[in-house]
Amino acid sequence: MVLRKIALSVAVMAALTSLSVQAQTTKTEKKHETLKARIDTLVDKAKADVKHAEKATAATVKKDAQKVKAGVKHAEKATAAKVKKDARKVKAGVKHAEAVGKKDLHAGEAKVVKAYDNVKQKVRNTYRKDKAKVKAWEKARKERRLCKKQCKANQK
């Protein structure tokens, strides 16, 4: 058992010495980055990502600004067109109302003229009837006078 321990310890020592010899030679050793170099590499990558993001953000902002400008222009054109359309509708409504008003006015005037003519005709008819009645009364009165005169003349 003691021999076994010694053999194992010799094997371990041999392994350790071979590793340390490998570490000392530069040709067989792989070059490992130090922690500082690794951090510098990550910082450089981050800087590149930030620059790329800034360029992309600037381009995105420009595109968004162009979209907003185009949207505003479109909205202005649409609003102007809508205002013109509404103005045309209002003008057409006003013209229609004027036409209807004129039509109603002419119809009202015609009704007034017709009513006036009817009243005038009624007055004429009434006047003629009354004139005929007056003539009939006057004739009857004259006849009564003549009749009275003749009756008096006959009685004398």
| pLDDT at 153 > cutoff 70 | yes
pTM of the complete model beyond 0.85: no
Degrees to nearest 5, angle at CA 36 with 54 and 16: 145
Q: Name the helix (H) or strand (E) containing 148.
A: helix 35-155
pLDDT in tens, 65-97: 888 888 888 888 888 888 888 888 888 888 888
Q: Tokens 């017709």, residue?
A: 114
| pLDDT at 4 > cutoff 60 | yes
Average pLDDT on 96-124 reads 84
* Residue 109 binned pLDDT confidence (cut-offs 50, 70, 90): confident
* Residue 130 binned pLDDT confidence (cut-offs 50, 70, 90): confident
Query: 14 versus 120: which is more confidently predicted?
Result: 120
CA-CA-CA-CA torsion for 140, 144, 150, 156, nearest 10 degrees? 180
Residue 54 has which token pair? 């800034």
SS3 content of the chain, % helix, strand, coil (to 5): 90, 0, 10
pLDDT in tens, 6-56: 766 666 666 666 555 554 555 555 566 677 777 778 778 777 777 777 777
Query: 36 versus 116: which is more confidently predicted?
Result: 116
**CA–CA dist 143, 156 (Å, integer):** 20
* Whole-number pLDDT of residue 31: 62
* Residue 64 binned pLDDT confidence (cut-offs 50, 70, 90): confident
The residues near 33 (Cβ < 8 Å, ≥ 6 apart) are: 41
Query: 10 versus 118: which is more confidently predicted?
Result: 118
